[in-house]
Amino acid sequence: MVTIVESDGRWTSEFTRIATELRGALGNGARRIDHIGSTSVPGLPSKDLIDIQITVDDENGLGRVASQLSRSGWRRGRGFWRDHRVPGLPAAPSEWRKVFFDEPEGGRPTHLHVRIEGRANQRYALLFRDYLRASPDASAAYAQVKRGLAALAPDSDTYSFAKDPACDLIYFAAETWAKKTGWIP
Protein backbone atom coordinates (compact mmCIF):
# COMPACT_ATOMS: atom_id res chain seq x y z
CA MET A 1 0.00 0.00 0.00
CA VAL A 2 1.22 3.48 -0.88
CA THR A 3 0.38 6.34 1.47
CA ILE A 4 0.44 9.90 0.21
CA VAL A 5 0.58 12.58 2.90
CA GLU A 6 0.12 16.33 2.74
CA SER A 7 3.21 18.45 2.20
CA ASP A 8 5.32 18.87 5.33
CA GLY A 9 7.35 22.01 5.84
CA ARG A 10 10.02 19.96 7.65
CA TRP A 11 11.00 18.09 4.49
CA THR A 12 13.39 20.84 3.39
CA SER A 13 15.20 20.98 6.74
CA GLU A 14 15.35 17.17 6.86
CA PHE A 15 16.95 17.19 3.41
CA THR A 16 19.45 19.84 4.54
CA ARG A 17 20.46 17.77 7.58
CA ILE A 18 20.91 14.59 5.51
CA ALA A 19 22.77 16.45 2.74
CA THR A 20 25.17 17.93 5.30
CA GLU A 21 25.92 14.44 6.63
CA LEU A 22 26.38 13.14 3.07
CA ARG A 23 28.73 15.99 2.17
CA GLY A 24 30.80 15.14 5.24
CA ALA A 25 30.95 11.46 4.27
CA LEU A 26 31.58 12.04 0.55
CA GLY A 27 33.71 15.16 0.53
CA ASN A 28 34.58 16.10 -3.04
CA GLY A 29 33.25 12.77 -4.34
CA ALA A 30 29.87 14.35 -4.96
CA ARG A 31 29.65 17.11 -7.52
CA ARG A 32 26.12 18.01 -6.36
CA ILE A 33 23.66 16.89 -3.71
CA ASP A 34 20.11 17.88 -4.61
CA HIS A 35 16.71 17.48 -3.02
CA ILE A 36 14.52 15.94 -5.75
CA GLY A 37 11.15 14.25 -5.98
CA SER A 38 7.83 15.37 -4.58
CA THR A 39 9.13 16.36 -1.14
CA SER A 40 11.31 18.97 -2.88
CA VAL A 41 8.27 20.77 -4.33
CA PRO A 42 6.58 23.06 -1.78
CA GLY A 43 2.92 22.16 -1.25
CA LEU A 44 3.06 18.87 -3.20
CA PRO A 45 1.69 15.81 -1.36
CA SER A 46 4.08 12.88 -1.32
CA LYS A 47 5.10 9.62 0.19
CA ASP A 48 6.88 10.61 3.40
CA LEU A 49 10.40 9.91 2.22
CA ILE A 50 13.15 12.24 1.10
CA ASP A 51 14.56 11.69 -2.40
CA ILE A 52 18.11 12.90 -2.88
CA GLN A 53 20.18 12.93 -6.04
CA ILE A 54 23.94 12.74 -5.69
CA THR A 55 25.68 13.76 -8.90
CA VAL A 56 29.14 12.40 -9.70
CA ASP A 57 31.51 13.16 -12.55
CA ASP A 58 31.78 9.76 -14.23
CA GLU A 59 31.54 5.97 -13.90
CA ASN A 60 34.57 5.88 -11.58
CA GLY A 61 32.88 8.43 -9.33
CA LEU A 62 29.76 6.28 -9.29
CA GLY A 63 31.75 3.35 -7.90
CA ARG A 64 33.69 5.47 -5.40
CA VAL A 65 30.60 7.15 -4.01
CA ALA A 66 28.74 3.83 -3.82
CA SER A 67 31.59 2.38 -1.73
CA GLN A 68 31.69 5.44 0.54
CA LEU A 69 27.93 5.31 1.07
CA SER A 70 28.05 1.61 1.93
CA ARG A 71 30.83 2.26 4.47
CA SER A 72 28.68 5.05 5.96
CA GLY A 73 25.77 2.67 6.59
CA TRP A 74 23.60 3.42 3.57
CA ARG A 75 21.96 0.24 2.27
CA ARG A 76 21.95 -0.66 -1.44
CA GLY A 77 18.41 -0.54 -2.73
CA ARG A 78 16.79 -3.62 -4.12
CA GLY A 79 16.97 -3.88 -7.87
CA PHE A 80 17.13 -0.21 -8.84
CA TRP A 81 20.22 0.03 -11.01
CA ARG A 82 18.72 2.15 -13.76
CA ASP A 83 15.82 4.48 -14.33
CA HIS A 84 13.08 3.81 -16.85
CA ARG A 85 13.90 5.02 -20.36
CA VAL A 86 11.85 7.99 -21.46
CA PRO A 87 10.45 7.83 -25.01
CA GLY A 88 12.27 10.24 -27.30
CA LEU A 89 15.33 10.58 -25.06
CA PRO A 90 18.64 8.75 -25.58
CA ALA A 91 18.20 4.98 -25.54
CA ALA A 92 21.72 4.05 -24.42
CA PRO A 93 21.56 2.15 -21.12
CA SER A 94 24.38 4.33 -19.76
CA GLU A 95 22.02 7.34 -19.88
CA TRP A 96 19.71 5.66 -17.35
CA ARG A 97 22.25 3.96 -15.06
CA LYS A 98 22.30 4.84 -11.38
CA VAL A 99 23.16 3.42 -8.00
CA PHE A 100 20.33 3.42 -5.49
CA PHE A 101 20.50 3.42 -1.69
CA ASP A 102 18.06 3.37 1.21
CA GLU A 103 18.67 5.14 4.50
CA PRO A 104 20.91 3.60 7.15
CA GLU A 105 19.14 1.26 9.58
CA GLY A 106 16.81 3.30 11.79
CA GLY A 107 17.34 6.50 9.75
CA ARG A 108 14.79 8.87 8.29
CA PRO A 109 13.18 7.22 5.22
CA THR A 110 15.33 8.38 2.32
CA HIS A 111 16.11 7.26 -1.20
CA LEU A 112 19.51 8.19 -2.63
CA HIS A 113 19.87 8.19 -6.40
CA VAL A 114 23.52 8.42 -7.48
CA ARG A 115 23.72 9.55 -11.11
CA ILE A 116 26.35 10.82 -13.51
CA GLU A 117 26.58 14.50 -14.48
CA GLY A 118 24.99 15.27 -17.84
CA ARG A 119 23.23 11.94 -18.28
CA ALA A 120 19.56 11.98 -19.24
CA ASN A 121 18.36 10.67 -15.88
CA GLN A 122 20.39 13.22 -13.92
CA ARG A 123 18.93 16.13 -15.88
CA TYR A 124 15.40 14.65 -15.79
CA ALA A 125 15.21 14.75 -11.99
CA LEU A 126 16.31 18.38 -11.77
CA LEU A 127 14.15 19.67 -14.62
CA PHE A 128 11.09 17.79 -13.36
CA ARG A 129 11.54 19.31 -9.89
CA ASP A 130 12.15 22.86 -11.10
CA TYR A 131 9.23 22.79 -13.51
CA LEU A 132 6.82 21.65 -10.79
CA ARG A 133 8.15 24.35 -8.46
CA ALA A 134 7.47 26.97 -11.15
CA SER A 135 4.11 25.56 -12.31
CA PRO A 136 1.49 25.34 -9.55
CA ASP A 137 -1.18 24.02 -11.93
CA ALA A 138 1.04 21.18 -13.15
CA SER A 139 1.96 20.42 -9.55
CA ALA A 140 -1.73 20.31 -8.54
CA ALA A 141 -2.57 18.00 -11.44
CA TYR A 142 0.36 15.74 -10.53
CA ALA A 143 -0.92 15.62 -6.92
CA GLN A 144 -4.24 14.29 -8.23
CA VAL A 145 -2.45 11.62 -10.27
CA LYS A 146 -0.42 10.56 -7.23
CA ARG A 147 -3.46 10.32 -4.96
CA GLY A 148 -5.45 8.39 -7.56
CA LEU A 149 -2.66 5.93 -8.21
CA ALA A 150 -2.03 5.44 -4.49
CA ALA A 151 -5.70 4.55 -4.03
CA LEU A 152 -5.56 2.00 -6.86
CA ALA A 153 -2.07 0.50 -6.67
CA PRO A 154 -1.69 -2.61 -4.52
CA ASP A 155 2.02 -1.93 -3.83
CA SER A 156 4.85 0.54 -4.31
CA ASP A 157 6.24 -1.15 -7.43
CA THR A 158 2.86 -0.99 -9.22
CA TYR A 159 2.46 2.63 -8.13
CA SER A 160 5.87 3.56 -9.57
CA PHE A 161 5.31 1.61 -12.78
CA ALA A 162 2.00 3.43 -13.39
CA LYS A 163 3.35 6.84 -12.34
CA ASP A 164 6.38 6.87 -14.68
CA PRO A 165 4.43 7.64 -17.89
CA ALA A 166 2.57 10.48 -16.14
CA CYS A 167 5.91 11.90 -15.03
CA ASP A 168 7.16 11.64 -18.61
CA LEU A 169 4.21 13.70 -19.84
CA ILE A 170 5.08 16.36 -17.26
CA TYR A 171 8.72 16.13 -18.33
CA PHE A 172 7.83 16.89 -21.96
CA ALA A 173 5.99 20.04 -20.81
CA ALA A 174 9.01 20.85 -18.65
CA GLU A 175 11.30 20.67 -21.70
CA THR A 176 9.16 23.28 -23.44
CA TRP A 177 9.28 25.43 -20.30
CA ALA A 178 13.09 24.99 -20.09
CA LYS A 179 13.57 26.23 -23.66
CA LYS A 180 11.23 29.16 -23.09
CA THR A 181 12.87 30.25 -19.82
CA GLY A 182 16.50 29.35 -20.58
CA TRP A 183 16.56 26.88 -17.68
CA ILE A 184 19.83 25.12 -16.97
CA PRO A 185 20.56 22.63 -14.18
User: Closest by alpha carbon to 96, among 81, 107, 77, 74?
Assistant: 81
- At 124-180, the pLDDT tens digits run 999 999 999 999 999 999 999 999 999 999 999 999 999 999 999 999 999 999 999
The hierarchical CATH code for the domain 10-181 is 3.30.460.10
- Single pTM value for the model: 0.96
Domain ranges of the chain: 10-181
- At 74-127, the pLDDT tens digits run 999 876 689 999 999 999 999 999 999 999 999 999 999 999 999 999 999 999
Give the number of C-alpha atoms closer than 13 A to the C-alpha of residue 158, restricted to the C-beta side: 10
